[in-house]
Amino acid sequence: MKITILLSFFITALFAETVVNPITGRTWMDKNLGASRVALSITDSEAFGDLYQWGRLSDGHEFRNSSTTNITSNSDIPGHSLFILSDPDWRSPENDNLWQGVDGINNPCPSGFRLPTEEEFEEERLSWTTNDGLGAFNSPLKFTLTGARSRMNGQIGNIGTFAGYRTSSLSENGSSRVMGMSENNAFMGTRERADGNCIRCIMDEQISLGDMNGDGIINILDIVQIVNIVLLSEYNENADLNLDGEVNVLDIVQLVNIILN
């Protein structure tokens, strides 16, 4: 009876900060880093989020109104919140090891999340109904045309007409790879590391989060097992879907949302 009441409550709850693309099976944050809500339209300014220089941590430089400096940094952590004007990189010398994986240096994503690779974004792009901004917005991830910030003068341009979504990947010449999109097109391209671009974090799936019985399928049987873990006040890393170090009702709600999606 107690389990039935719990399940009824969780299924009707509206707690979800992740979204799953059912075609790719990937779990993502449901909005851009720094955004205040999931996008209501492709030009929803409250869903644009912040604009990051490649490899920098969340230190305030990413804010759209941050001040600028033309002094490059000689370390991975500049120690200030200024947007660094430089071409091509904000750091001298460059460090290709930034943002590599969930435990990577300066990973700005929440615990358990990381920057996607170029291949992961390409997989998402190929799942859209159309290869353009509308297809991006109509996808489960609700992408927006955020604009981008210039490494040369710090100005933000192309708001509502273009977006470049950061990846952890680098090109052969050292430029950073992005998933670019406009009203009429979408593509994998390059931006310099010192440019400011938006971020959508992906869940690191090295462990089978939610698959409690190890059958490769997430369904009601897994929910029942997590409910039992909660009732017994136990811990299991596969049941800790939000990666907060605890297994509780929030994890059950997140698992329900994954199944419903």
Structural class in CATH, domain 2-23+207-260: mainly alpha
For the chain, the structural domain boundaries read 2-23+207-260, 27-204
Of residues 50 and 234, which shows the higher confidence score? 50
Q: Specify the pLDDT at position 208.
A: 64
User: Which two three-digit tokens encode residue 97?
Assistant: 């090891």
Banded pLDDT at 215 (limits 50, 70, 90): low
Residue 255 and residue 221: Cα distance in Å, rounded?
Answer: 11
Residue 28 and residue 21: Cα distance in Å, rounded?
Answer: 8
Please state, rounded to an integer, the average pLDDT across all residues of the chain. 90
- Residue 6 predicted with pLDDT over 80: no
Q: What is the pLDDT of residues 153-207, one digit of tens each?
A: 999 999 999 999 999 999 999 999 999 999 999 999 999 999 999 999 999 875 4
Helices 220-231 & 2-12, crossing angle to 10 degrees? Answer: 120
Banded pLDDT at 68 (limits 50, 70, 90): very high
Q: What is the pLDDT of residues 128-149, one digit of tens each?
A: 999 999 999 999 999 999 999 9
Distances (CA, A) of 6 to 18, 26, 253: 21, 27, 10
| Cut 0.95: pTM above it | no
Q: Name the one residue in this structure whose structure tokens are 């969340």.
A: 58
- Residue 5 predicted with pLDDT over 50: no
CA–CA–CA angle 68, 191, 140 (5° rounding):
105
- Residue 3 predicted with pLDDT over 70: no
